[in-house]
Amino acid sequence: MVIGAGPGGLAAAAALRRRGVDVLVVDRAQQVGVSWRGHYDRLHLHTPRGLSGLGGLPIPREYGRWVARDDVVRYLEQYAAHHDLEIRTGTAVERIERPGSDWLVHLAGGEVLRARDVVVATGYNNTRRRPTWPGEEQFTGQILHASQYRSGAPFAGRSVLVVGFGNTGAEIATDLTEHGAGPVRISVRTPPYILKRERGAFLTTTAVGILVRHLPVRLVDALQDRVFHRDLQDLSAHGVPRPHGGIYSQVLKGTIPVQDVGIVAAIREGRVQAVGSPARFGTDHVELADGARVDPEVVIVAAGYERALENLVGHRGLLDERGLPHVTGGQEALPGLWFTGFTNPISGMFRELRLDAAAIARGIVKRDGARGGRPGRPRRPVRRA
């Protein structure tokens, strides 16, 4: 059984199907790829089409080099149909346990399915949980999570503070200015490495990330001035401190480099102003950690997601302090239990999901072939509550 019908779950299910294994995919949402359906309108894959296809079906050429959100959704639908995947949508999994040789998958409503193997692919950003600040309950402006943002059009002529300088925050801030919002400010807590998305017709940030993916962390950090120096964007003169600690070290801590799709020009031209991180809210203003004060009408929080795995497997001691699995990809976390999609690699998420899926399928088939069995689809419910 695969839990999650996003790109990671679909890739894992398809890899198993191609090896002759029957597999059931379950997802709490009513459609595949629900997280992509809810992203903002401007979003494109930050990795080029040729490096982003899942196993067994390339992304169609007509979707262009940088695939738009709606085309990603369309591709995931095509992918599920192409591989004839069996998917139960509207099916939430509450917890899994293994009292014997098989896993018991407890569904909302009391149904329990039995499966020899379970692949958890519920997503790195599964559930939004934004930070809170003192005084925000008295703030008379609007506070939104980035997952609620679709376009800058409704914010034309309004002052906006974007909290979080990751890829999402940077792109939302850029989008706001392009739709006439202003002033637009973006708060910086951890200074990001900002990279050009592409260099010339063939070399992209993703390609460089693939080249250095398996090098020692210290070596990549040491080489950053040589490997990335042409791509690194310096905004220190505009209020964005220079990052430190090493580009790959930041990645391993969960801070992914920002790919420039307009934010650098927006800051240099003064359309977006970099400010400090919020410390507390007043009725009509936000006090920043550096003592400054801003007065936005709207605050958009581009930070705050969690994996939400605690109820599912937290009782098994499989998660670290960030709620991420200790073991992911092509290795079993426990016998018959696999995780995919819980890293945030510089080499591109879709590419890593494809590699994870192939490794998981190989591992399952090899293991069961060695013991003379073959994993199949989850069996009928063992009971209903």
237 and 330 in one domain? no
pLDDT value at position 299?
98
Q: Tell me the pLDDT band of 255, cut-offs 50, 70 and 90.
A: confident
- Boundary-marking domain end, from 301, 319, 340: 301
Asked, for residue 377, whether it belongs to a domain, the answer is no
| Residue 114, domain CATH | 3.50.50.60
Least confident among 27-31, 175-179, 302-306: 302-306
Q: What is the pTM of this model?
A: 0.89
pLDDT value at position 231?
62
148 and 75 in one domain? no
pLDDT value at position 348?
84
107 and 25 in one domain? yes
String of DSSP letters for 198-253: EETTTEEHHHHHHHHTTS-HHHHHHHHHHHSTTTB---GGGT-PPP-S-HHHHHHT
- Exposed (0-12), middle (13-18) or buried (19+): which is 384, by Cβ within 10 Å? exposed
139 and 282 in one domain? yes
Residue 102 has pLDDT above 90, yes or no: yes
Enclosing H/E stretch for 119: strand 118-120
- Boundary-marking domain end, from 272, 301, 330: 301
Residue 187 has pLDDT above 70, yes or no: yes
The number of domains in the chain is 2
Asked, for residue 211, whether it belongs to a domain, the answer is yes
Rounded Cα distance, 27 and 280, in Å? 38
75 and 184 in one domain? no
Asked, for residue 10, whether it belongs to a domain, the answer is yes
The pLDDT mean for the chain works out to 89
Q: Letter for the amino acid at 369?
A: G
- Boundary-marking domain end, from 279, 301, 323: 301
216 and 251 in one domain? yes
Which residue carries 């993703």 as its tokens? 206
Which residue carries 């945030």 as its tokens? 344
Question: Is the pLDDT higher at 308 or at 284?
Answer: 284
pLDDT value at position 374?
53
Residue 98 has pLDDT above 60, yes or no: yes
Rounded Cα distance, 3 and 25, in Å? 6
Q: Tell me the pLDDT band of 383, cut-offs 50, 70 and 90.
A: very low
Task: Residue 309: give the domain boundaries.
Answer: 2-127+305-370
189 and 150 in one domain? yes
93 and 6 in one domain? yes
